[in-house]
Amino acid sequence: MRYKSYVIPYFFFSQALADGLRITFSILAPILFFRHIGYFETGLAISLGAVCVNITDIPGPIRHKRNGLIAACVVVFLASLLSGLFHIHLIITGIIVCVATFICSMCAIYGVRVATIGSAGLLVLILSLSSDSTPFSEVLFRSSLIFIGALWYSGISLLLTTMRPYRMAQRALGECLRETSKYLSLKGAFYDPKTKLKKNYKKLLAQQIIVNEKQHEVRELLYKTRQIVKDTSGTGRSLMLTFVDTIDLYEKITASYYDYDSIRKKYSNTGVLKKIAYLIKRLSYELNAMGFAIQSNSTYKKDHLLYAWILDFKHYTSNIVHIENKEDEIVLKRITDNLEDIYNRIQELGNYFESEKAESPFRKILHKPFVDTQEYSVELFKDNLTFQSSAFRHAIRVTIACLVGFITAQLMNYGHHSYWILITIVFIMKPAFSLTKKRNLERLIGTAGGGIIGLAILYFFPDPKVQFACLLFLMIGTYTFMRINYVVMVIFTTPYVLIMLKLLGSGYMSVIQERLVDTGIGCTIALAAGYLLFPKWEADELEDHLQHVIKSNLNYLRNFALLLSGNSPNVVDYKLARKEVFVSSANLSAAFQRMLSEPRKKQKNSDKVYEFVVLNHVLSSNIAGLTADTNGETLKECSEEELVLLNQIQLVLFDCLNSRSGMNAPDDTFLTTELERKEKPDLKAQLEFILRLCNDIYRAKKLIRT
């Protein structure tokens, strides 16, 4: 069996490592250069600009990156200037910190990129609080150096992106395929009798969230980058086509749902279950290998034995003599056909590596309806100045926490880095209490673990050259894991800061003590604020997620209803409905996971919510299966009984919604359509199962409300 995990190779060709190397170079180069010519403080100020502005350099179209980086440069300069001018006046400084914190926290309403610009401004403002009192000319000079550092980093980032415009998209698409392969592997684990179904469902739902995030990232990169969209014959078109095929493949994988408990009982003595699990595992390996080839921009070597295994499996299942009835035979045939279809779709993804097929001009790609637009109006800011807005509540919460942190730092007067308290509060507080709690724990673990590592390096390696080499490694680790694993980032960051301050002449024992104390204070304030200051618990928000996911599934099902009644749905409408199902399901799963991280007394009907989440996944899978079986072709051979079943399903789902849904009840006018009569027992059985499933969802939702 050809298998390679690609974990380490994926890492070395990841966007995260590329970011880590770029950021490290941008920060270190000014320090080393100006130290060499005798202006170390100048290099330090320039590097500070690079440190702050890199926060805003998140993946996205180059146009958005450019605009975001320019805005960040201006914000960083103004924040540095403002802090430098007034930081000696304690009351004025406190007011500035509160106002800046509120405004920067409210930036989240304009999207992630604008939120990071606000974070960059807050970071430089807080760091500037530690500077000594200086005249205006020196403050202006230092702020200008920070501005130059921000421009320096922005120039490097934009230059590299312009030189290799497709690399970021290739890396993102490769990672998307990798996470999709993990999702496929988890689907295959259901057939393994040793796998615990409930535990595997939780893993599958968690992986669904990751896949949705990766798909969103690729969609943003591809559909909002003009150079890629306008590329009709090269790499850009190959990336677009491959991503479209990836979404289709994911739908097919999602559609492959069966009653696994029942299947295990029926086929436990045939040996077929292990063969199915093994074959799905091989398919996931093939998809993983393809993802790595795209991400690393290297050659893809096809597994030529894989199709032989599928044919062997089909031959094996056709000779099973333990099948008791026709229905069991149909289920087994559906599984076999589904595996072959997944294999064929994976092979279609291989067209990316065959230029003639990838550059075919006959396949039109509709992308504009799938692009999300962000509003940047003052009215949006005003509309969110209410306690009904989660962004406003979060901004007030962070502002109060920072005020308490600022006062605490002034009263304690402990060490020279009391700004660490504010930095801890700003960067671990999140709108959801569960996320704040998670970040809090990660920060404490990372700081303690990183402190031990830092002390060990400084104690056992007193040579400054060795310490600098360790510093370089730790910097790369910090900025590599900055956006992918917070606890690992903090583990790298703490010794990096210790060694840096030691090389600058500070006593490292006092620094580690101060950092531990400041981190503990900041985490305590952040956690208390998240719990006490008008929190909005996930259980209170679940109703909206439940409504959204039911509404999206109902809309998804109506596209199949059009096929069943002899009509063809609009392709764009169908794919938008499919996207909405994937997104809403992932959001529901994420909200449920966050709820489980909250205090137990704040959780409501968690067992029923979990049941609903699983039932929703099963429903989405079955609706996808219905549509996938038709291959987008209209059906004019179904019975009126099947149409009645479909209408009943829609009515049950509609009853699950309340008056806020904005959807019209389904009508039965299509039942009068003249149809050819042809028995389809498989379709009827599927519709009956979905109807029972919808009734279970209806009951689960009623119990959640009580």
Distance, CA of 475 to CA of 21 (rounded, Å)? 9
Distance, CA of 627 to CA of 634 (rounded, Å)? 10
Looking at residue 280, its amino acid is I
pLDDT in tens, 457-470: 998 998 989 999 99
Find out whether 339 and 279 touch, Cβ atoms under 8 Å: yes
Least confident of 309-323, 641-655, 659-673: 659-673
Write down the pLDDT at residue 659. Answer: 46
Domain ranges of the chain: 1-163, 170-207+236-370, 418-535, 538-705
User: Which has the closest alpha carbon to 453: 506, 522, 517, 515?
Assistant: 515
Tokens describing residue 98: 């509160």
Average confidence score pLDDT of the chain? 83
Evaluate if residue 135 carries a pLDDT over 80.
no
Distance, CA of 182 to CA of 176 (rounded, Å)? 10
| First-to-final CA distance of the chain | 52
Evaluate if residue 352 carries a pLDDT over 90.
no
Write down the pLDDT at residue 671. Answer: 41
Tokens describing residue 534: 């008008």
How large is the average pLDDT for residues 478-505?
90
Evaluate if residue 308 carries a pLDDT over 50.
yes
pLDDT in tens, 219-241: 888 887 777 767 666 788 888 88
pLDDT category, 481, cuts 50, 70, 90?
very high
Tokens describing residue 312: 């062997």
HEC secondary structure over 661-694:
HCCCCCCCHHHHCCCCCCCCHHHHHHHHHHHHHH
pLDDT in tens, 147-180: 999 999 999 999 998 888 888 999 999 999 999 9
HEC secondary structure over 248-282:
HHHHHHHHCCCCHHHHHHHHCCCCHHHHHHHHHHH
Evaluate if residue 288 carries a pLDDT over 50.
yes
Distance, CA of 367 to CA of 172 (rounded, Å)? 17
pTM score: 0.87
- Cα 30 from chain centre: 33
Residue 363 burial class via C-beta count within 10 angstroms: exposed 0-12, middle 13-18, buried 19 and up: exposed
User: Which has the closest alpha carbon to 212: 249, 250, 166?
Assistant: 250
pLDDT category, 362, cuts 50, 70, 90?
very low
Find out whether 494 and 516 touch, Cβ atoms under 8 Å: no
Which DSSP letter does residue 430 get?
A: -
